[in-house]
Amino acid sequence: MKSSSLATLLHAFFHEWMGSQRNLSRHTVCSYRDSWKLFLRFTSKRHRRAITKLSLTDLQAGEVLAFLEYLEKERKVSIGTRNCRLAAIHSFFTFVAHREPLAIAQCAEIARIPVKKTSRPAMCYLDAEEITAILREPDRSSLEGQRDHALLAFLYNTGARIQEALDVCPRAIRFDSPAQVELLGKGRKSRICPLWPETVAILEALLRRQPRADDEPIFVNRYGQPLGAAGVRFKLKQYVQAAAQHVPSLATKRVTPHTWRHSVGVQLVAAGVDVTVIRNWLGHARLDTTNHYARANLETKRKALEQVDPTTKPGKPPRWRQNPDLLSWLDSL
């Protein structure tokens, strides 16, 4: 049986395995693509061979381990980033094991390379006063400020991931009572979130000022192009800095769009909502992820108790474009 070339396997992995079979998000495809670009460049340099000349047999477990060491020691990446790069490699060799029986031993050895465990950082979330202070900052007399206020209000209402919110089009929203929005999350899984009347009114006002077609994203820049997550993080940082002048506790927090998601989760727990409902609301694949909010809420209560108890001591699938340059093809994904 003739083995497939590395280029052919990578094409099939991104086009068939990731796109059609696993139905992964665009963000995941781009992350895996970037991981493989780094790995191929690293291996090419070590072997002093052009990327187009590399074969599957060049990518042994030792090569993967050397790449991971390079990432940590020379590129100074975090353990989380190191694990993400390894996940892209693991996923590819899982695919290869199905496609190339002769490479099963190689694939199994690579599959045994473990992810590194890391302590989960303390969850950052906002209380109602902090959220209100940030929501007051956008200048709603301008179109940009009205858009930013609507986006932040939408995030607080739904607990959506930032890309989920930026992808929302008018057709995904039911404006009549009971108002709701359909969000498309990880793995292209959809879920329904209820909308408060106040949120509906805010979105309707934005759409009156800046109309969008049913299939066009609601949150766009001045040129009508969809906002990017990086731009939202930048604007949010500015609003938080301004709000910190009135609510000093914000100065000690690193607030990102995902912080709003954490805040929704913690507040739902505090309101007594069952964790299985919260799991569906936020689109978590595993209940353990949702339980982090319950633990965070419990820690908040414990700290509050210490303050008053004197007896307590502190203690779409990517298209396959034929391209002889593998890196150029990866860039095209």
Residue 103: alpha-carbon gap to chain centroid: 32
The Cα 210–Cα 187 span in angstroms is 31
Ranges of H-type helices in 244-320: 257-270, 275-282, 287-308
Angstrom CA distances, 130 to 135, 240, 303, 314, stand at: 9, 9, 18, 26
- 128-308 belongs to CATH 1.10.443.10: yes
Q: Return the pLDDT at 277.
A: 66
Sign of CA dihedral 263, 264, 265, 267: positive
The Cα 255–Cα 152 span in angstroms is 12
Q: What string of pLDDT tens digits covers the 333 residues of the chain? A: 456 789 999 999 988 887 665 556 677 788 899 999 999 999 999 999 999 999 999 999 999 999 999 999 999 998 889 999 999 999 999 999 999 999 999 999 999 999 988 766 566 778 889 999 999 999 999 999 999 999 999 998 888 889 999 999 999 999 998 999 998 877 677 888 889 899 999 999 999 999 999 999 999 998 999 999 999 999 999 999 999 999 999 998 889 898 888 888 777 776 776 666 666 667 655 555 555 555 544 444 344 334 333 433 333 434 444 445 666 666 665
Active site residue 293: yes
Dihedral angle at the C-alpha atoms of 323, 326, 328, 330, nearest 10 degrees? Answer: 110
User: What are all long-range contacts of 14-21, with beta carbons under 8 Å and residues at least 24 apart?
Assistant: 14/318, 14/320, 14/330, 14/333, 15/317, 15/318, 15/319, 15/320, 17/91, 17/95, 18/91, 18/317, 18/318, 19/316, 19/317, 19/318, 20/317
Q: Return the pLDDT at 215.
A: 94
Q: Return the pLDDT at 122.
A: 60
Active site residue 90: no
Residue 194: strand pairing partners: 180
Residue 306: alpha-carbon gap to chain centroid: 35
Residue 316, SS3 per DSSP = coil
0.75 cut: is pTM over it?
A: no
Q: Return the pLDDT at 290.
A: 52
Active site residue 186: yes
By the 8 A CB rule, do 187 and 23 touch? Answer: yes
- Inter-helix orientation angle 143-158/197-209, to 10°: 150
Active site residue 284: yes
Buried b / exposed e across 39-59, counting CB within 10 Å, b at 16+? bbebbbeeeeeebeebebeeb
Active site residue 37: no
Active site residue 27: no
Q: Return the pLDDT at 140.
A: 95
Mean pLDDT score of the chain = 82
Exactly one of 82, 149, 261, 279 is catalytic; name it: 261
**In this structure, what are the phi and psi dihedrals at residue 247, rounded to the nearest 5 degrees?**
-125, 90
Q: Which of 27, 3, 6 lies closest to 318, judged by CA?
A: 27
Taking every pair of C-alpha atoms in the chain, what is the biggest distance, in angstroms? 76
Q: Which residues contact 269 (CB under 8 A, 6 or more apart)?
A: 275, 278, 293, 294, 296, 297
* Full DSSP string of 107-173: HHHHHTSPPPP-PPPPPP---HHHHHHHHT-S-TTSHHHHHHHHHHHHHHHH---HHHHHT--GGGE
Sign of CA dihedral 290, 133, 175, 256: negative
Q: Which residues contact 208 (CB under 8 A, 6 or more apart)?
A: none
Amino acid at 107: C
Show the tokens assigned to 170: 């008018």
Q: Return the pLDDT at 245.
A: 92
Exactly one of 33, 90, 161, 235 is catalytic; name it: 161
Residue with tokens 């066009």: 216
